[in-house]
Amino acid sequence: AQTVTQSQPEMSVQEAETVTLSCTYDTSESNYYLFWYKQPPSRQMILVIRQEAYKQQNATENRFSVNFQKAAKSFSLKISDSQLGDTAMYFCASRRGNTPLVFGKGTRLSVIA
Amino acid sequence: NAGVTQTPKFQVLKTGQSMTLQCAQDMNHEYMSWYRQDPGMGLRLIHYSVGAGITDQGEVPNGYNVSRSTTEDFPLRLLSAAPSQTSVYFCASSRTSGGPYNEQFFGPGTRLTVL
């Protein structure tokens, strides 16, 4: 079974600074997919970034990037130039084949002006 | 496209009552799933479906039933509500062709309180 662990229940960052959210996972599969979702106070789940495990290059989406360390089973999310609108819960998730997404417990990020 | 819609947005039930949470999508997605979100627990899978007529259990299926008679709809039934089912419920959908890299689209959620 896949498991996803987010070890930081809460984090805060000053506006315009950079913050990194941690995620580790456990899987016996050789190919799988990793995701970060954002959940703002509106409760809507929004895909932030995704990574295919067989691709060594780290995914980037504007101010969001990941540090994917396959051997260490680590998939951290870096948010650069943090904005007040980045305040949200962030969930790391993994998926293999056509099985369902498995989520971590989330990290609550607060961006402080 | 309306995307994934869920009704109702809020619901209060008494212990022992039954109800159905509705989920519909207009993107012709084969894959649909139900999650519940509780504080400090993340999202946990209740049931999922890979196509009409096919359903399977997730991590926390007890007390819930599902069926998938059409591609568009995936209702979640609470048979006899219990206070432990107080939660926020999310429905999600995605294509299966193209594999697990496909983005899952989530509905806006239903907040359910069982007294």
Encode pLDDT of B50-98 as tens digits: 999 999 999 999 999 999 999 999 999 999 999 999 999 999 998 876 6
Which residue, A40, A41, A11, is CA-closest to A23?
A: A11
Q: Do A91 and B40 touch (CB under 8 A)?
A: no
Q: Is A68 exposed, middle or buried (0-12, 13-18, 19+ CB in 10 A)?
A: buried
Given a cut of 70, whether residue A109 has pLDDT beyond it is: yes
Task: Please give the average per-residue pLDDT across B33-45, as a whole number.
Answer: 93
Residue A100 binned pLDDT confidence (cut-offs 50, 70, 90): confident
Closest CB to A45 among B40, B90, B99: B90
What pLDDT score does B103 carry?
82
Joined tokens for residue A79 = 């948010």
Q: Do B44 and A9 touch (CB under 8 A)?
A: no
What pLDDT score does B112 carry?
97
Q: Which residue has the tokens 């139900």?
A: B34
What pLDDT score does B98 carry?
61
Which residue, B3, B2, B8, is CA-closest to B89?
A: B8
Instruction: Report pLDDT digits (tens) over B43-63.
Output: 999 999 999 999 999 999 999
What pLDDT score does B100 carry?
59
Closest CB to B42 among A32, A43, A105: A105
Q: Do B45 and A100 touch (CB under 8 A)?
A: yes
A91 touches B at CB < 8 Å: yes
Q: Do A103 and B109 touch (CB under 8 A)?
A: no
Joined tokens for residue A5 = 């662990």
Instruction: Report pLDDT digits (tens) over A24-46.
Output: 999 888 788 999 999 999 999 99
Residues in A 25-44 with any Cβ partner in B closer than 8 A: 32-33, 43-44
